[in-house]
Structure 1
Amino acid sequence: MAEQNKHLYYIDELSDYKIADGYPDIRGWDVKDIDHRVVGKVDNLLVNKDAERVLYLDVEVDKSIIDAKYDPYGRPVQMEVREFVNKDGENHIIIPIGLVDLNDDSNYVYTDLIDHRTFAETKRYRKGDTINRAYENQVLDSYQRRQREDADRSGLHLYKDENRLREIIRDEIRRYHFETDKDATYKTAQAHSRSKNIDDNAIIVDDELELSQRRSNDDVYDGDKYYERAEFDDKRFKKRTPGL
């Protein structure tokens, strides 16, 4: 990725970003899964300078993750296999800050959402590699699937996926306009939705297409709401380590 598109930096790359005095530096802490099984150690922290906060833990995975030898979840069928199978030396993964909590007493990080197999099936990278949006999307999709599978088994429809939620919002807007005005065309309904500004979170088709194209091209651009996703909500994390 070109330097101008780089949007995630390791904290030790940034001289003006430090762990605040009096708060634990979690680098070197064990990371445990939902079953309290060790999946790795925190090696570094990834910062977005625009958001001015830590967004991911950079985790060196435990040998048990590598020994599992699972293919990465969600490997695109149209891509060459060699591009997505974990290679020798790829022994790091990222974990969004909002998916973890801290145990200050025993100095470890844990998640109550992700199991060992999910971590083992997540695409890895080499220490120090630049993290791009394509990799972020693949990792988030890998972590979300447990929630989707649990929802399917329980019969609940928990729309955790951002794009799916937007589709539902757009469908509801369209249904409202077509039910209240049978003669309205799709374009009229679309224009009316814009003028009424029914929901700031609703992205109309044209805007959604543009957003999809930009993200598929791995662009980072003004107005991107990517890091407002629930996975980056660090309230639980910050109440113990507000200096991060």
Structure 2
Amino acid sequence: MTDTNKNLFNLDELSGYKVSENYNDVRGWDVKDANNRIIGKVDHLLVNKTAERVVYLDVEVDTTLIEDGHKTYQNRVNTGVHEFLNKEGENHLIIPIGMVIIDEKNKLVNTNQIDSSTFVKAKRFKKGDVIDFEYELNLLRHYSGDNTIHSSNSVDGFYDREEFNNTFHHRDLE
């Protein structure tokens, strides 16, 4: 995929884009799953320029989660060629912004809709790789369990989905 067809950009790459005053910059914050397990840290905020907003968090996955993923594939169901879903060095994944809740007080990002076993089985990528739309579709299908999301979906209107609603959901804990 060439940069001219690039759909997602790191916020840092775009001049004139920044985190709004009303929102926290969550880069560097831990990300917890539905079972309260740390699955990684937010590395980048990914922007879709057409939607003119952050649509994903780019998360550097915790090494323990990666190790759990390798254990998942040790038990063979049948004989034949078996391949790991993720290759060495692929330690990033994206999470739709509408599927997280920001805990400002504790500087945490919570993914109450996704548990660690779902993250373990998710396809990852290497830092700096261009993320294509097919990857977005597959990951959203994986996270939501919605198999009606398929390749015939187009980028136009894609970020109007519920999974991308609200730039950041906030939770203030007193």
Report which of the two has the higher share of helix.
1
1:102-121 aligned within 5 A: 102-121=102-121
Structure 2 distance, partners of 1:106, 1:30, is 10
State the aligned residue count.
Answer: 162
Runs of 4+ in 1 over 4 A off after TM superposition: 160-164
Amino acid at match of 1:100: V
Distance 1:39 1:239, change over 3 A: closer
Match of 2:77 in 1: none
Structure 2 distance, partners of 1:51, 1:38, is 29
Report which of the two has the higher share of strand.
2
Structure 1 unmatched ranges of 5 or more: 72-79, 146-159, 165-210
Cα offset, 1:24, TM superposition: 2.0
Cα offset, 1:138, TM superposition: 1.3
- Give the 3-state SS of the residue equivalent to 1:17 in structure 2: coil
Match of 1:206 in 2: none
Structure 1 distance, partners of 2:2, 2:42, is 26
- The structure having more radius of gyration, on CA atoms, is 1
Structure 2 distance, partners of 1:101, 1:234, is 10
Distance 1:22 1:229, change over 3 A: closer
Structure 2 distance, partners of 1:123, 1:38, is 18
Structure 2 distance, partners of 1:239, 1:38, is 18
User: Which gives a bigger RCO, structure 1 or 2 (Cα 8 Å, sep 6+)?
Assistant: 2
Q: TM-score, normalised by structure 2?
A: 0.83
Match of 2:164 in 1: 232
- Give the 3-state SS of the residue equivalent to 2:143 in structure 1: helix
Cα offset, 1:22, TM superposition: 6.2
Structure 2 distance, partners of 1:133, 1:21, is 30
Give RMSD over aligned pairs.
Answer: 2.4
Structure 2 distance, partners of 1:35, 1:64, is 15
1:45 and 2:19 aligned:
no
Structure 2 distance, partners of 1:120, 1:226, is 25
- Give the 3-state SS of the residue equivalent to 1:126 in structure 2: coil
Structure 2 unmatched ranges of 5 or more: 74-80
Cα offset, 1:25, TM superposition: 1.2
Cα offset, 1:226, TM superposition: 1.2
1:195-214 aligned within 5 A: 212=152
- Give the 3-state SS of the residue equivalent to 1:117 in structure 2: helix
Match of 1:19 in 2: 19
1:9-158 aligned within 5 A: 9-21=9-21, 23-68=23-68, 69=70, 70=72, 85-145=85-145
